[in-house]
Structure 1
Amino acid sequence: MSRRTADRVRVAAVLFDRDGTLVEDVPYNGDPERVRLLPGAKRALDLLRAEGVATGVVSNQSGIGRGLLTDADVRRVNDRVDALLGGLGTWVYCPHVPDDGCGCRKPRPGLVIEAARRLGVAPGDCVVIGDIGADVLAARAAGARGVLIPTAVTLPEEVEAAPATAPDLLTAVNRLLAQTQGGRR
């Protein structure tokens, strides 16, 4: 997108990281009342839905494995985000701590592969948008494309290594739509 752009490509689904991408990052948030959408998030989802692009969330939630959150806490927060954004097609999250060695925790491909399966699309027809290197690495590992939206927590080397970047979520989605499905945007 910003540095390297692809020719027109098919995008069947866009998968988002949750914290720091769609909503303000509140570490280990289990309280739906603390959910705040990031600027442009609702508009970005509305644009994707209007173009018939499936959406989902892929999120590491190690607070469950650390005993700081319950599965029910994460689901309540996800439900709040879903309600504020008008509904996403699927939610997939990893409850494990980094040392568990699971195949789902980003940067591994499991969450992306599972979200694509649930949406009925090939991982290669997905784009993953997130705010840290693990998001774009998970995309790459699953055969999807990744877009990094740098924030204060994004490392400079993650920005340099990212296949594509955008300054914010709405810009990322507008650029993606301009590249896809005949470039209608």
Structure 2
Amino acid sequence: MQDNDNFNSLSHLNETGEAQMVDVSAKQPTRRQAIAAGRIRMSESTLEAIEAGNAPKGDVIGTAKLAGIMAAKQTANLIPLCHPLPLSKIEVKITCDRNLPGYQIRASVITKAETGVEMEALTAVSVAALTLYDMAKALEKSMQIENICLLGKTGGKSGDYFVEGMTTSDL
């Protein structure tokens, strides 16, 4: 058994070391935004087929965007200690990148709540990438989902965070 004092500083563990959802009821709701990004790399021929609308399952990009939006709304059901949040806006952008070759995926999520939306933005990017893979796997199974990360977030007690080179105006 571990020393209980080690758990006192970990917000998601109770005094006996068990996982718990943090109580945010004393916090004031504030506007919070998070942006996450990722990419999916594929062969040029797969990219061309998707761009031409020749994927066997239909509208790859439209379906992946919608899946990302739906996933952000379901984050609390997917990640055990996330709070369900009233999401005000979810935007998923999927951009063709011929230099990759593949697609850049970016999600922005906004709420007015007691806790942040970083996990919702990351979930949107992840599921959009997985859906893109699923929609195009008949064309290529070697596609690679890469570099899913938080680019920035605003609001909350911990303050703003941005990856190097990014600012509030990029949100």
Give the number of the structure whose alpha-carbon radius of gyration is greater: 2
TM-score (norm 2): 0.28
**Structure with more of its chain in helix, by fraction:** 1
TM-score (norm 1): 0.26
**Structure with more of its chain in strand, by fraction:** 2
Compare relative contact order (CA 8 Å, sep 6+) and give the higher one, 1 or 2. Answer: 2
